[in-house]
Structure 1
Amino acid sequence: MKSAVETLNPTRVRLSIEVPFEELKDSLDAAYKKINQQVTVKGFRKGKIPARVIDQRFGRGAVLEEAVNDALPKFYTEAVNEAELNVLGQPEVDITDLKDGETLNFTAEVDVRPTIEIPDYSGIEVEVDATEVTEEDIDKAVEQLRDRFASTAPVERAAEDGDVVTIDLEAKVEGEILEDGVASGVSYTIGSGELLDGIDDAVTGLEAGGEATFTSELKGGSAEGKDAEVTVKVSQVAKRELPELDDEFAQLASEFDTLDELKADSRKRLENQKLNDQATQAQERVLEKLLELVEVPVPEKLLEDEVQTRKHNLENHQLAQMGLNLEKFLEIQGKTVEEFDAETSEQAVKGIKTQFVLDELVNKEKLNVSQEELTEHLMRRAASSGMSPDQFAQAVVEGGQVPMLVGEVARGKALAVVVESATVKDTNGEIVDLEDDEEETEEAPEAAAESTDSAEEQDKA
């Protein structure tokens, strides 16, 4: 077999392959055997029909077609390996010449990973938010906790913002009461925005026994999207009462005995959260700077597949779970289809570039993934998926996704190398040492890696 490679562009090549006819012998034998099992000829036992009879009855062309279809993947793979190509996806094959008894010539066009030159990245500098925790931050955290332990007490007055009202609802569309438009004993906090548009204005100022009617667009149910005439009747008005900020509250809301201990714990939690946020911010900004340094051509077909994968996952998984379609989602987001498509394409391009660059870094830095690192990564992914480690591991193995997880860990280590060599300063001008946040650093590229699953699938194909 002879093969030659022609570079069409930085991400696509054409293989020209010439196969001597004797190389097709095994595939021809297999073709005759297969046809033998599928047809019957009077005077011959099934499976014992001579090749010359099959040629006469069914045509030599049918045999050649079967043999070529069987042999092409093998010869294509040999040519790819010989040229040491890193191909993406399936090739477009064209048989240019087939001479019975002489040669088989065909071409195969296929996308390939581009050659990437990683420049010196040691000069990367980024700025991140400082991590100091203020008294205001602590007070806000304690207030949020206090709000969770609020109680309610009925009051005999008109409802005000922040009150909890018990209401009955009845929705009509075109004068007809909807079967699913009636609800009783609904508890609603005025100003929370958790029910219908317009309900806050309608119930504010009503006392127990009062009612009002307003018009609102229904957000779900049988008449979703239609304007309805909604009647709301208040059966009770209750005032929310917050507990006193004292040691008794600390004992109620936490494992601590005093309010000072509770505040000290809040400070520690906020500091840890800000450190984690700072590490993530550093990783994201270092990655952005790295991508700016590297020229990365993106294969058109891979980009097209990635965009379609993202749209499919959004519509059929994320939005479906929320009971939304794409049209409604874009309406809520205030985006046009064109804006959504442009954003999706931009995100896909970034995801693909990220994977290509980090994979090249893995090779350049000769990074390996240990069994312990893979296990730790699997445990984290299992926790985020809501599955047990055993269930997640089984799903990964059965789905052939182990190489994908290995790639995620390797890319994490590659980005960690770049982050370690970068200069990271906070908004106060202080140098940030991220060594203490090693675990978070290793997690950094997961979002980017997971966002390019289609590229992984192309590699596997």
Structure 2
Amino acid sequence: MKSAVETLNPTRVRLTVEVPFEELKDSLDAAYKKINQQVTVKGFRKGKIPARVIDQRFGRGAVLEEAVNDALPKFYTEAVNEAEVNPLGQPEVDITELKDGELLAFTAEVDIRPTIEIPDYSGIEVTVDTVEVTDEDVEKSVEQLRDRFASTNPVERPAAEGDVVTIDLEAKVDGEVLPDGVANGVQYTIGSGELLDGIDEAVTGLEAGGEATFTSTLKGGSAEGKEAEVTVKVTQVAARELPELDDDFAQMASEFDTLEELKADSRKRLENMKRYDQATQAQERVLDELLKIAEVPIPEKLLEDEVNTRKHNLVNHQLGQMGLTLEKYLELQGKTLEEFEAETREQAVKGIKTQFILDELVNKEKLNVNQEELTEHLMRRAASSGMSPDQFAKAVVEGGQVPMLVGEVARGKALAVVVEAAKVVDTNGEDVDLSDDEDETAETVEASAEDAPAAEERSEDKPEA
């Protein structure tokens, strides 16, 4: 076999391949064997039809087509290896010559990973938020905890904001009660905004047994988006009572003996959360600066595939689970289709650029992933997916996704190298130490390339004639 490579642009090549006919022998034998199992000829046992009879009855062309389709992946892979290129996606193959007994020639155009020069990233500087927890932050955190331990007691008075009312609802559209428009015994906290628009005004001031009617646009169900006449009846009014903020509350709501200890722990937790947010912010901004100074050509077909994949995942998975159409989603987001398309393309470009440049850094810095790092990453991914580690690991192995996880960890380590070299200061001008935040770095990489099919997976596609 002879092959040559022609660079069409920084992200696409054309391979020209010539194969002497004798190298097709194994594929021709396999083609005759396959056809033998599929056809019957009177006078011959199944599977024992001579090659000359198959040629006469079904045509030599059918045999050649089967043999070429069988042989193409092998010869294409050999040409790729000989050219030392990294293909992305399905090649476009064109059989340019097929002479029976003499020669098979074909061309294959395919996107490739571009050659990337890693820029000098030692001069990157970013500013992040300061880690600062105020007394008001602590008080708010404790109040939220206190709110979770609130109790409700029925009262005989008109309902007011903050009360929990038990209500029966009936919705009519055009005077007809909807099949799914009746609900009884619903508990609702006045002012929470968790039900229909207008319900707060309707129930405020009503006592148990009181009833009111109001109009509202339905947010779901069979008449979603339509204006309905809603009748609400209050069957109970209950007041929420908050526990006293004292040592007894601290002992009830936590492992601490005193309220001061509880507040100190709240402050510490808030500081840790802000440090986590600060680290994530630093890594995102360092990555953005790296992408600004790096020249990363994007294969156009890879980009289009990525955009289509993102749109498909959003429409058929995320929105489908919520019962939303793309049109309704855009309406809720206040975006036009053109704005959505532009944002999706921008996100896809960033995801591909991130993967390409960090993969190049992995190679340049010779970064490896050990079993402990992979296990820790798997545990985090399992937790974020809501699956147990065993379930998630089984799904990963069965889906052949282990190389993808290894790539995510390696890219996280590559970004950590860049972050370590960058200058990170907070808004007070103080240097920020991110030496203990490698886990968050890996998660930043995942977020930047979210939903992006790995280029390694695309390279496994096989050509067909």
Aligned positions of 1:54-453 closer than 5 A:
54-453=54-453
C-alpha separation in 1, matches of 2:295 and 2:434 = 28
Pairwise CA distance, 1:450: 4.3
Pairwise CA distance, 1:141: 0.6
- Residues 211, 234 of structure 1: 8 Å contact kept: yes
- Residues 408, 449 of structure 1: 8 Å contact kept: no
3-state SS of paired residue (2:145): helix
C-alpha separation in 2, matches of 1:298 and 1:256 = 56
- Residues 3, 18 of structure 1: 8 Å contact kept: yes
Pairwise CA distance, 1:82: 0.3
Question: What per-residue deviation string (whole Å, max 9, x for no partner) do you get for residues 437-459 of structure 1?
Answer: 33323433122344322534213
C-alpha separation in 2, matches of 1:380 and 1:404 = 15
3-state SS of paired residue (1:56): helix
TM-score, L = length of structure 1: 0.96
Structure 1: which 5+ runs fail to align? none
Pairwise CA distance, 1:113: 0.9
Question: What per-residue deviation string (whole Å, max 9, x for no partner) do you get for residues 309-350 of structure 1?
Answer: 222222232223333332222222122222222211111111
C-alpha separation in 2, matches of 1:376 and 1:190 = 44
User: For residue 256 of structure 2, what is the amino acid of its counterpart?
Assistant: F
C-alpha separation in 2, matches of 1:69 and 1:365 = 40
C-alpha separation in 2, matches of 1:117 and 1:362 = 13
Task: Provide closer, same or farther for how the CA distance between residues 48 and 179 of structure 1 changes in structure 2, counting only shifts above 3 A.
Answer: closer
The count of residues paired between Structure 1 and Structure 2 equals 461
C-alpha separation in 2, matches of 1:168 and 1:443 = 45
Question: What per-residue deviation string (whole Å, max 9, x for no partner) do you get for residues 98-155 of structure 1?
Answer: 1112211111111111111111101110011111211111011111111112223334
Shifted more, 11-20 versus 313-322: the winner is 313-322
The runs of 4+ residues in structure 1 deviating greater than 4 Å are: none
Shifted more, 380-389 versus 195-204: the winner is 380-389
TM-score, L = length of structure 2: 0.95
Identity of aligned residues (%): 85
Question: What per-residue deviation string (whole Å, max 9, x for no partner) do you get for residues 239-288 of structure 1?
Answer: 32222211122122111111100000001100111111111111111000
Shifted more, 8-17 versus 158-167: the winner is 158-167
- Residues 412, 438 of structure 2: 8 Å contact kept: no
C-alpha separation in 2, matches of 1:33 and 1:453 = 37
Structure 2: which 5+ runs fail to align? none
User: For residue 102 of structure 2, what is the amino acid of its counterpart?
Assistant: E
- Residues 306, 455 of structure 1: 8 Å contact kept: no
Pairwise CA distance, 1:436: 2.8
3-state SS of paired residue (2:459): helix
Give 1:44's aligned residue. 44
C-alpha separation in 2, matches of 1:342 and 1:19 = 45
Give 2:2's aligned residue. 2
Pairwise CA distance, 1:6: 1.5
